[in-house]
Amino acid sequence: MPPSPSIRTENLTIRFGGHAAVSSVTCAFHPGELTVIVGPNGAGKTTWFNLVSGQLRPSAGRIFLGERDITRLSPSERAKAGIGRAFQLTNLFPKLSVLENVRLAVQAKAGRGSQLFTRTTRLTGLTDKAMQHLIETNLTSVADLPAAALPHGDQRKLEVALLLAMEPDIFMFDEPTAGMSVDEAPVILDLIARIKQDRSRTVLLVEHKMDVVRALADRIVVLHNGELVADGAPGEVMALALVREIYLGIGAEEVA
């Protein structure tokens, strides 16, 4: 008897005009499990993520967090319910400092956002916590710089630091190492591996790099043209002829 799923989608569908970007995807994920979602560009991976974290509303189907139907909740309500999302295209508060970016996420988690007459600087607990996340992501040396001034790799790390600061139950990473240098990527991958060690957490990861997939995945879900075409242990899925065909279509070296 497997543990009950932490997050589950049921016939999840979204159409843009006549085109179904995500088509009737039914899938459940469990605590302690790291699932990598793969598929060629345009397969609907990011769209499916947007449906789960609330940036898009589905045309049909439902989403459950535990037993709770969250299909109608706004992104902020889902964030409070425990779904944390890091974005593929860097999506930060560009003119605010790196520390302030993370502190805002910590503050949201602590539910202190509507305090009107407290000085932010006196909530040192929040700042300390934010600093802790900067240490985890190797960003302490740039804490006072505006986020927009960081090099691309550091912005990707900050994106992950924001997600850590949200302390979610469901971690959703959308190509966290995209565009990162070979030196930088391991920091993020180590972090993800560490997140996974806590068995109460569910990790969903969209990733193209096959070495990353092999190193981290407990399970692989393959999307193709918006449909779920394969789901299973990494060894099994990678061996499927269909999956090899889809991937060979976009470049053999990525599979090899």
Partner 1 sequence: MLQASASGTSARKAGRTRGHQGGRFVVYALVGLIGLALALAPFLFPDVRSQEVAARICVFIVLVASYDLLIGYTGIVSFAHTMFFGMGAYGTAIALKSMGPGFEAILIGGGAGIIAALVLALLIGLLSLRVKAIFFAMVTLAAASVMMVLASQLSDFTGGEDGITYSIPRLFSPAFELLTDAEGKALRLFGVPLNGKIALYYFVFITALVLFLALLRIVASPLGSVLQAIRENEMRAEAIGYRVVFYRTAIFCIAAGVAACAGILRAVWLKYTGPEVVLSFDIMIDILLMVVIGGMGTMLGAVIGVVLMTLAQYYLKDLMAVGAEATASLPIVPDLLNPERWLLWLGLCFILLVYFFPAGIAGTMMGKGGHK
Among positions 113-132, residues that touch partner 1 (CB under 8 A) are: 113-121, 123
Residues 195, 211: Cα–Cα separation, whole Å: 19
Question: Across the strands, what pairs with 223?
Answer: 228
If DSSP codes are grouped into helix, strand and coil, which group holds residue 136? helix
Among positions 165-184, residues that touch partner 1 (CB under 8 A) are: 165-166, 183
For residue 40, count CB atoms less than 10 angstroms from its CB and return exposed for 0-12, middle for 13-18, buried for 19 or more.
middle
Provide, rounded to whole angstroms, the least separation between the CB of residue 5 and partner 1.
Answer: 23
Q: Is 11 in the site for partner 1 (CB under 8 A)?
A: no
Region binding partner 1 by CB under 8 A among candidate stretches 60-68, 107-115, 189-197, 225-233: 107-115
Among positions 49-78, residues that touch partner 1 (CB under 8 A) are: 53-55, 74-77
Q: Is 108 in the site for partner 1 (CB under 8 A)?
A: yes
Query: Is the separation of the CB atoms in 89 and 81 below 8 Å?
Result: no
Reading the block at residue 175, the tokens are 């190509």
Residues 109, 90: Cα–Cα separation, whole Å: 21
Packed helices 152-165 and 98-110: angle between N→C axes, nearest 10 degrees: 20
Provide, rounded to whole angstroms, the least separation between the CB of residue 77 and partner 1.
Answer: 8
Region binding partner 1 by CB under 8 A among candidate stretches 28-36, 88-96, 194-202, 205-213: 88-96
Q: Is 162 in the site for partner 1 (CB under 8 A)?
A: yes
Residues 61, 22: Cα–Cα separation, whole Å: 11
Query: Is the separation of the CB atoms in 195 and 205 below 8 Å?
Result: no
Provide, rounded to whole angstroms, the least separation between the CB of residue 237 and partner 1.
Answer: 30
Q: Which stretches of the chain bind partner 1, using CB under 8 A?
A: 53-55, 74-77, 79-80, 85, 87, 91-96, 100, 103-105, 107-109, 112-121, 123, 141-142, 144-145, 149, 151, 162, 165-166, 183
